[in-house]
Amino acid sequence: MILAGDVGGTKVHLALYDFTDGNLQHTRDQQFAAREYSGLEEIVKEFVVNEKVTAACFGVPGPVRDGRLRLTNLPWTLDSRELATNLKIDYVFLINDLQANGYGIAELSAEQIYTLSEGDARQVGNRALISAGTGLGEAFLVWDGRDYVPYPSEGGHSDFAPRNEDEIDLLRFLRQKYDGRISFERVVSGQGITNCYEFLREVRGIEEPAWLAERIANEDPNAVITELALKAKSEICEKALDLFVSAYGAEAGNLALKVLSVGGLYVGGGIAPRILEKLKDGTFMKAFTDKGRLSQLLVHMPVRVILESRTALLGAAAYAEARAAELSGISPRSASVKF
């Protein structure tokens, strides 16, 4: 049995996988409120009961160095060696969460991906992955001539680059709000949707009706803004989502240029599937391809949206099995194939 984990600042999602005819077979999964536990070890012990786990991999937010990571949003330090010893699991691996998503792409079926732009599917080469959720994750999928090898990045924390008067004024607004430097994550993430909304209200003076102000104050602002924008029931919410999606497309295009992702760009994370109808209206793709002399390069890149919420878990499970097989010489995936 393979244990896979997706560790975030607010929740930890664990799943157990086996293999059937070479394919990952989901057994069960569960989500845990991270702040209610003293550490990952406590959560794993609660989840894994009477099951023999041979290998485990956890996708974690941030750079992993020598199997170790200190989380920024939780008072936890994770060490793969300590976890292996204390959990009595032979092989435990920690990898960046976007790296886990990258490995998961290979495990997805056609139904779990929506093609936003066909581009030129004949092109072979690097791919890129961008995922807006609680934060903004980015990763490179490097083509080595045989496989796509995911490499993590902290590109979401690079400087926000405004492209027009609205975004220039948005940058000024956010510099005041956060008292300093602004990264793309401040605009392209869950908090970014709310930031765009507040900018339009405070700086552009777009009206916020009393009923909407009450909902914003008492509910999840991102959910309210997104809901009303998609239903076309609020001008300020529609404009906020426009601003957000355009910035998302622009940064996706920046990443595609840096990676030279002729093999395509994948849009992951929790936000994209929820706003899929908005992504289809052309706002994202217009910003993605608006790269001056290199616009045609972007036009020919396929753009695909990941619909499967457990992609990081699939990737972590696949990585755990592959790395453990390298070290032990025993592959449950290969053993499950029927000839």
What's the CATH number where 319 sits?
3.30.420.40
Whether residues 286 and 153 fall in one domain: yes
List all residues 6 or more positions away from 261 whose beta carbon is below 8 Å from its beta carbon: 125, 126, 127, 128, 140, 141, 255, 301
pLDDT (tens place) for every residue of the chain, 339 residues total: 999 999 987 899 999 999 888 889 999 999 999 999 999 999 999 999 888 999 999 999 888 999 999 987 788 999 999 999 999 999 999 999 999 999 999 999 999 999 999 999 889 999 999 999 988 999 999 999 999 999 999 999 999 999 999 999 999 999 999 999 999 999 999 999 999 999 999 999 999 999 999 999 999 999 999 999 999 999 999 999 999 999 999 999 999 999 999 999 999 999 999 999 999 999 999 999 999 999 999 999 999 999 999 999 999 999 999 999 998 898 888 888 876
Asked whether 59 and 5 are in contact (CB, 8 A), the reply is yes
Alpha carbon distance 219, 128 (integer Å):
34
Determine the distance from the C-alpha atom of residue 312 to the mean position of all C-alpha atoms in its chain, rounded to a whole number. Answer: 8
> Are 119 and 303 a contacting pair, CB within 8 Å?
yes
Domain residues for the domain of 202 are 109-307
Residues 28 and 118 in one domain: no
Q: How buried is residue 165: exposed, middle or buried, by Cβ count under 10 Å (0-12/13-18/19+)?
A: exposed
Q: Quick one: tokens of 296?
A: 């045609």
- Using DSSP bridges, classify how beta strands 11-20 and 23-33 pair: parallel, antiparallel or unpaired: antiparallel
Statement to judge: residues 206 and 291 lie in one domain? yes
Reading the block at residue 54, the tokens are 């041979």
Contact 92, 55 (CB under 8 A): yes
Is residue 280 located within the same domain as residue 146? yes
Q: How many CB atoms lie within 10 A of CB 323?
A: 15
